[in-house]
Chains A and B, each alone.
Chain A
Amino acid sequence: MIRYLLKRIAGAVPTLFIIITLTFFLVRAAPGGPFDQEQSLPPEIVANLQAAYGLDQPAWIQYRRYLTALLHGDFGPSYKYKDFTVTGLIAQGLPLSLTLGGVAMALALALGIPAGVFAALHHDSAAGYATMSLAVVGIAVPSFVVLPFLGLIFGIDLHWLPVAGWEPGSVKHLVLPVITLTLPPLAYIARLTRGGMLEVMQSHFVRTAFAKGLPTRTVIWRHALRPALLPVAGYLAPAVATIMTGSLVVESIAGLPGVGRYLVQGALNRDYTLVMGMVIVYSALLISAGLLVDLLYAWLDPRVRLAH
């Protein structure tokens, strides 16, 4: 088990390396540089700034330098937010972003799985059909439409919740963003659970469980659910990506000081180090999600051998 984990982590290093390399050269391929937008600066000061950050060096030297610093856990200084290191910026915003994403994921699982089971058991009734129709809506409608609409209804019309803004420790400000982030993975999970459940309910071992005279709920929760969740487990890593992508717009619409805005802003500002830092953090999160999925597979189906 531990050996398997170590092997997987070792396997993630090349992936991360590819991502870092690609991003490094991609951001530098973009026209312009980090100090272009400040037109008031005379050229010699820009040159000085570039020299100070080592940006006058050939790309591969910068790359080697960046990797060396990274190995020591140093993401470098932000070019745009002067006096801030990338580590500092991310450390400030990440807890809020992780809370948002984590709660959304937990809710999506906690509501999506029962909804999918319900829809599978009532697949030929109006209730099951209605559940799945709702799921299609949840999958299709994008978060940057959902959140403003929710804001219109619950914020502007009903005055129940704030439309945007943030106070530390306030739960009220997080309700609409969390709902928005939850909907797409919730709908997807419900759909996958339903599909898995429908298939598993046809399987021989479920028939055996019924033949043993077990009550229907025991058959469903003890025998059928775990194998039915295999497709859901496979979706978890994409779900993390979906939530991350969603948080980019949700945080900006709701005015939440998470890390979501740094990626786009950093790219627009040519704040190379900030973009790199964000891509690395997000990629690491995604890779860990993938690892978690593998462990989950092994739990859901003991036939899956971890040490293949």
Chain B
Amino acid sequence: MNASGGRPCGGLWPDAWHRLMSNRGSVLALCAVGCIVFLAIGGPFLNPNRVDALDWSHVAMSPGLNGGHWFGTDRLGRDLFVRTLQGTGVSLLIGLFATAVTLLIGIGYGAVAGFIGGRTDHLMMRGVEILSGLPLIFFVILVSVIFGRSVFLLFVSIGAVGWLTMARIVRGQTLSIRQREFIEAAIATGAGTRRIIARHIVPNVIGPVIVYATLTVPQIILLESFLSFLGLGVQEPRVSLGTLIADGVGDMESAPWLLIMPGGFLALLLLCFNIVGDGLRDALDAQRR
């Protein structure tokens, strides 16, 4: 409870945004994420080289500005700049898509459990507890072996594994929101459960959900590149940062840039997402206090 009434109060979102913007690390990371996204979308057009074009006159060329191969080329003469950006794009897409899956399942499950409460809630949360006790990474590996050819199913399986924490967060929020007057008012006016969840609960749990989602994206990008690195995820001719790094490790001694460029990109991407997520969490947390 803050007793001082005279201080300027701009509401939850503008205030949180202001806090986020006053955190220099977060701003920097946010800009970096923006640049990476922009590069991943527009980058391939900036460079004259095509993704799968084989430039036999420049095989395993080291990075430089001549020849238009800014990041160098691999053993087949493919341009690393374009490949890295394409891999980043694929990793980002997978991250966003799978995060959307975790959001859908997590919010639905958590909101229903929290809103209905009682024994249903108890049973549903018990299920989450048992699932989170299982070594899920093994199942992801097994599932990706089974569905290896289908990137779409891979997204879904990764997303299906990541929703547990999201469900917990949403349930906790829902439980506390359920006590508030406007929900009782909605019940009193005879609104159905589904309508209340969609209209009243979901919009109000959005803050913590966004924070957790920004932290989920890098987790999923990490998992995807991990699987791709092991040869279980994205398959040739598609590239992802994980497959590029796996290739780079093989040629580490003769052509270190094949490792450094995609590895650096992945590290930077994950780092920035984590910093933005942390900054956002701090901004919203401070608001809550």
Contacts and interface: CB of A to CB of B under 8 A. Distances in A.
Interface string A126-166: 00000001001101111011001101100010000001000
B226 A156 contact: no
Nearest to B272: A140
Given A137-B271, A249-B230, A241 B245 contact: no
Contact of A151 (B133, B226, B252): B252
Nearest to A143: B226
A32 to B, nearest CB: 10
Given A245-B226, A267-B145, A19 B135 contact: yes
Nearest to A23: B142
Contacts of A295: none
Interface stretch (A61-69, A216-224, A278-286): A278-286
Contacts of B146: 26, 29-31
A140 B141 contact: no
A264 B138 CA distance: 9
A136 B274 contact: yes
B271 A140 contact: yes
Contacts, number: 110
Nearest to A252: B230
Contacts of A278: 138
Contact of A279 (B135, B266, B271): B135
Nearest to B263: A145
A267 B227 CA distance: 13
Nearest to B229: A144
Interface residues of A, number: 44
Given A152-B252, A245-B226, A290 B133 contact: yes
B143 A26 contact: yes
B134 A18 contact: yes
Nearest to A15: B133
Contacts of B232: 264, 268
B252 A163 contact: yes
A278 B230 CA distance: 17
Given A142-B226, A283-B135, A148 B271 contact: no
A19 B275 CA distance: 35
Contacts of B273: 140
Given A15-B133, A141-B271, A264-B232, A148 B225 contact: no
A24 B146 CA distance: 13
Interface string B218-251: 1000100110011110000000001001101100
Interface in B191-229: 218, 222, 225-226, 229
Interface residues of B, number: 40
B15 interface: no
* Residue among A142, A152, A156 with max Cβ neighbours from chain B (10 Å): A142
B175 interface: no
B274 A139 contact: yes
A27 interface: yes
Contact of A145 (B141, B245, B275): B245
A267 B142 CA distance: 6
Interface stretch (B36-44, B80-88, B253-261): B253-261
B270 interface: yes
B151 interface: no
Interface string A202-232: 0000000000000000000000000000000
Interface string B117-141: 0000000000000100111011101
B226 A249 contact: yes
A86 interface: no
Contacts of A107: none
B249 A141 contact: no
B259 A148 contact: yes
Contacts of A198: none
Interface in B131-179: 133-135, 137-139, 141-143, 145-146
B134 A156 contact: no
A275 interface: yes
A22 interface: yes
Contacts of A283: 134-135, 138
A253 B218 CA distance: 23
Contacts of B266: 142, 145
Contact of A282 (B138, B142, B143, B256): B138
A23 B271 contact: no
Contacts of A103: none
A136 B256 contact: no
A96 interface: no
A248 interface: yes
A27 B267 contact: no
29 contacts: A19-B134, A22-B139, A23-B142, A26-B146, A30-B145, A31-B146, A140-B271, A142-B226, A144-B226, A144-B245, A144-B249, A145-B263, A145-B266, A148-B263, A149-B259, A152-B260, A156-B256, A241-B135, A241-B137, A245-B137, A249-B226, A263-B138, A264-B141, A275-B142, A278-B138, A279-B135, A279-B138, A282-B138, A286-B135
Given A145-B267, A152-B259, 15 more contacts: A19-B134, A22-B134, A139-B274, A142-B226, A144-B225, A148-B245, A149-B259, A156-B252, A245-B137, A264-B141, A268-B145, A268-B231, A279-B138, A283-B134, A286-B135
In order of increasing CB-CB distance, the 4 nearest A-B pairs are A30-B146, A140-B271, A140-B270, A145-B263
